[in-house]
Structure 1
Amino acid sequence: MDTLAAASTQSYKLYNQTTMLNISLIQVQYLIALDEHRNFIKAADASFVTQPTLSMQMKKLEEELGVIIFDRSKQPITPTAIGEKIIKQARIIFNETAQIETILKDHTGDVSGTLKIGVLPTIANSLVPRLISQIAQKYPDLKLTIKEALTHEIVEDLEHNRLDVGIVSIPLHNSGLIERKLYVEKFRIYAHPNHPSYSKNSWDADDLLADKLWLLSEGNCFRTQTINLCSLPDDKLNHLALNYESGNLQTLKKVVDLEGGATLMPEWEAGELDDESMDHLKAFKADNAGRAVGLIYTKFYAKESVIKKLEEMILSALPKYVSENQNLEIIELV
């Protein structure tokens, strides 16, 4: 919202057949802040104004529109039915206006400012250290903020302008987002030496279920892809040894080391294990399927040059055994 900080004297004019509405861009900014925080004091703090100033602007906006946008009798305050529609349109106005500065920077090839990236935990361990290193070397004026989160959290943050770009498993089939596929990686099995199927170099689903199977918790797309890849039946899932809540595959690996059984890992992360751990990796018999990883961002994000440079940096960081994956079946997330 910093791009609108000096916009208090500017106006966004809405026309219809009978009236002309005069809404200031600063009112749009305050409206969005109030929707995000659902509290006048917190919204005012986030907007760097006093609470009376924000309250006055919201009152003027409601008087101009002739409707109540927020129900103040509830705590936290909540949008009314008409308020939700107005807030949705306000976000569009804000996004479109903020793009002007973005377009100018993109036109000049300027790579600076802040880039807020959301990334899945099952991708972050391999990618993020390399990405941070490249950006620090090539674009020192670009302030990078990285948040590890699940897919639905990243999508929500993109839609509310809290993130610029997401790095997730695709396809998401979300019409409000643009997807750019980066790479496809296979799945690898990490097994304890005492596993009944350990002597086999390539496994099928029955081999996987011959002993304890350790998976991430529900809501993690890597868990969903594992279930879809192996066609794991519900009766087997109900008796899994553990639903681990953190999303940290390295912790599941340590659980296997201590408790036995097996877990699954993405190919890139598996390929970076130490030599001793690499001995415990197994492949699937077919080994012709994998997860697609891509960039996602909203249609309002105008920094095309930043997206391209980010894509180039990620592709250059890929190990050869991942970048050369071709014609793999993409495992869906549903």
Structure 2
Amino acid sequence: MTIIQFEYIIAVDNYRHFGRAADACFVTQPTLSMQIQKLEDQLGVLIFDRSKQPVVPTEMGKTIIAQARKVVNEAKRLNEIVAEEKGEIAGELSIGIIPTLSPYLLPLFIHNFIEHYPNVKVKIYELITEEVVKRLKNEVIDIGIIVTPYDDPGLVAKPLFYEEFYAYVSEKSEVYKKDKVEAGDLKGDSILLLNEGHCFREQVINLCQIYKEHDSHFKYESGSLEALKRIVDIHGGLTLLPQLATLDIEEKHRKKIKQFVDPKPVREVSLVMHRSYLKRKLVEALHKEILEAIPDKVDIKKNGEVIKWK
């Protein structure tokens, strides 16, 4: 048995499809299938039930794959030990980031990170939180940038900053007249929300505690905060925005941004990794680079009430 064979069965477990697993491993499907077959013959057990679609591991296969993950991780760790001894920061870093952070946070740090660490190849995927977590646990990506706390014993988080919630309010709304708002000012039938699956949507609902399905003349949900802002500008109503999404709003629209009364609602943004994560030097470098890029207006220490979403 070989490390490559272990990598192949891990890929099939991750993708639940031999073709996609082969693509991810940069080999042909016959090559991948032949190597897995050899491993099964050597062990005398079936690792995958090929009669099902998508393909699934057998009960014995689950145990073998779990052990294979440990072996592959330890093998990768050898490269890290050598690199650390040489003082090198190099390799590949794959990052999953949620859509309500990606367009606002990435531009702040990614250019400097790539410039400061030219030997690091960075891959970035924009994913909802549950997909980030799934890929972390399957070790498809190295790091997630998500909203925490996220209760999972298999993950470890390094907090980055605490981002305030703001109301973005149409001039047509009664709330527009207020200097500061509180949760009770937000009417359920006028709040524009993100689609289901976004953690920010759940935080908004938890903050308001009054949103219910209802009949109304207009209801709009989107996967984009920018779309929600535009609807408020044109149609009316209000939405809630995380702080970074308010920093580049045009001056003519800035009066629509309303701060909350104390204790201000905030969301905690963190780097999240698998508990047995590798690439520790890269994680530390990324953490440092992001902290240095955070605007002064955004708190890096908790200063407000963290709104949970799970």
TM-score scaled by length of structure 1: 0.85
Identify which of 244, 248, 252 aligns with 2:221.
244
- Tell me, which stretches of 5 or more residues in structure 1 are unaligned? 1-22
Identify which of 48, 62, 67 aligns with 1:89.
67
Query: Retained in 1: the 8 A contact 2:175–2:185?
Result: yes
Equivalence for 2:100 = 122
The structure whose RCO (Cα within 8 Å, separation 6+) is larger is 2
Equivalence for 2:121 = 143
- Aligned equivalents of 2:261, 2:29: Cα separation in 1: 63
Q: CA deviation at 1:255?
A: 0.8
Query: Retained in 2: the 8 A contact 1:186–1:287?
Result: no
Identify which of 280, 283, 289 aligns with 1:313.
289
Alignment: residue pair count = 309
Query: Retained in 2: the 8 A contact 1:120–1:151?
Result: yes
CA RMSD of aligned residues (A): 2.2
* Letter aligned with residue 66 of structure 1: G
- Aligned equivalents of 2:29, 2:114: Cα separation in 1: 39
Equivalence for 2:268 = 292
Correspondence list, 1:3-18, <5 A: none
- Aligned equivalents of 1:31, 1:160: Cα separation in 2: 12
Residues 182 and 38 of structure 1: CA distance in aligned 2, closer, same or farther (over 3 Å): closer
Query: Retained in 2: the 8 A contact 1:189–1:282?
Result: yes
- Tell me, which stretches of 5 or more residues in structure 2 are unaligned? none
Q: CA deviation at 1:51?
A: 4.2
- Aligned equivalents of 1:274, 1:151: Cα separation in 2: 29
Correspondence list, 1:33-52, <5 A: 33-52=11-30
Q: Tell which deviates more after alignment, 256-265 or 197-206.
A: 197-206
* Letter aligned with residue 320 of structure 1: D
Correspondence list, 1:50-129, <5 A: 50-129=28-107
Q: Tell which deviates more after alignment, 237-246 or 203-212.
A: 237-246
- Aligned equivalents of 1:332, 1:198: Cα separation in 2: 26
- In structure 1, the residue corresponding to 2:140 is in which secondary structure? coil
Equivalence for 2:161 = 183
Identify which of 131, 135, 160 aligns with 2:138.
160
- In structure 2, the residue corresponding to 1:321 is in which secondary structure? coil
Q: Deviations over 1:129-151 (max 9, x none)?
A: 12222113212222221111111
Residues 87 and 276 of structure 1: CA distance in aligned 2, closer, same or farther (over 3 Å): same
Equivalence for 1:214 = 192
- Identity over the aligned pairs, expressed in percent? 39
Residues 107 and 302 of structure 1: CA distance in aligned 2, closer, same or farther (over 3 Å): farther
- Aligned equivalents of 2:132, 2:19: Cα separation in 1: 26
* Letter aligned with residue 59 of structure 2: A
Q: Deviations over 1:256-311 (max 9, x none)?
A: 11110000001122133121121111122234331100100112322222112111
* Letter aligned with residue 331 of structure 1: I
* Letter aligned with residue 317 of structure 1: A
- Aligned equivalents of 1:281, 1:98: Cα separation in 2: 48
Query: Retained in 2: the 8 A contact 1:134–1:313?
Result: yes
- Aligned equivalents of 2:203, 2:128: Cα separation in 1: 14
Residues 258 and 231 of structure 1: CA distance in aligned 2, closer, same or farther (over 3 Å): same
TM-score scaled by length of structure 2: 0.91
Q: CA deviation at 1:41?
A: 4.5
Equivalence for 2:247 = 271
